[in-house]
């Protein structure tokens, strides 16, 4: 059904747009956002009695390297999702197999984005660095919302398509 294909294209494009905006914000407001990354990695906001404070990374070089890796991953995620949406749009009226094949870049981008938010923010930032213990820094709920949206779109886009009538 054409409407389903158009919905898949639109969802992949919407994720590309969102992640591109996030990357742009991280680049254009670098110093505000690196301060957040630094606070999470330094674990300064984690209660002093916490037994996980030994995990802190206090090197400014590593703070910047980690933040640049986050931004680079966002850029690649946005690019792959956008390229996937374009590839699907080019095959929107094709038979099922070419349309299915056109999804590969979107699937890669959505997977990378999911991994960034799940492993980077929820697992590493949230669990390893105890971001959940720092009330003012807890971005885990926000990251969870984004990763669930990406996972939902990934599942939807990945579903097999039938030939158009």
Confidence of residue 165 (pLDDT cuts 50, 70, 90): confident
Whether residue 62 lies inside any domain: the answer is: yes
Q: Is residue 164 part of a domain?
A: no
- Report yes or no on 165 lying in a domain: no
Distance CA 51, CA 21 (A): 37
User: From residue 79, how far is each of 62, 75, 126, 152 by CA, in Å?
Assistant: 25, 6, 26, 19
pLDDT confidence band for 149 (50 / 70 / 90): very high
DSSP state string for 106-149:
HHHHHHHHHHIIIIIIIIIIIIIS-GGG-GGG--HHHHHHHHHH
pLDDT at 22 over 90: yes
Taking the C-alpha atoms of residue 34 and residue 18, their distance in angstroms, rounded to an integer, is: 20
Write out the two tokens for 113.
């984005």
pLDDT value of position 57: 97
- So what's the pLDDT on residue 132? 87
- Count Cβ atoms below 10 Å from residue 159 Cβ, excluding itself: 10
High-pLDDT (> 70) share of the chain, %: 100
* Domain range for 120: 2-158
Sequence-distant (6+) residues with CB within 8 A of 70 are 26, 37, 116, 120
Per the structure, the count of domains in the chain is: 1
Per-residue pLDDT tens digits for 56-104: 999 999 999 999 999 999 999 999 999 999 999 999 999 999 999 999 9
């Amino acid at each position: 059904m054409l409407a389903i294909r158009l919905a898949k294209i639109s969802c992949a494009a919407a994720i590309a747009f969102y992640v591109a905006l996030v990357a742009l914000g991280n680049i254009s407001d670098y110093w505000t956002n690196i301060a957040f990354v630094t606070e999470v990695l330094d674990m300064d906001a984690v209660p002093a009695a916490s037994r996980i404070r030994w995990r802190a990374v206090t090197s400014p070089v590593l703070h910047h390297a980690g933040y640049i890796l986050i931004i680079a991953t966002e850029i690649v995620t946005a690019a792959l999702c956008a390229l996937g949406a374009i590839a699907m749009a080019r095959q929107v009226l094709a038979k099922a197999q070419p349309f299915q094949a056109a999804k590969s870049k979107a699937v890669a981008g959505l997977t990378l984005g999911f991994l960034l938010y799940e492993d980077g923010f929820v697992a590493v930032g949230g669990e390893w660095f105890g971001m959940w213990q720092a009330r003012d820094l807890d971005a885990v709920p926000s990251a969870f919302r984004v990763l669930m949206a990406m996972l939902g779109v990934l599942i939807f886009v990945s579903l097999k398509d039938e030939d158009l009538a």
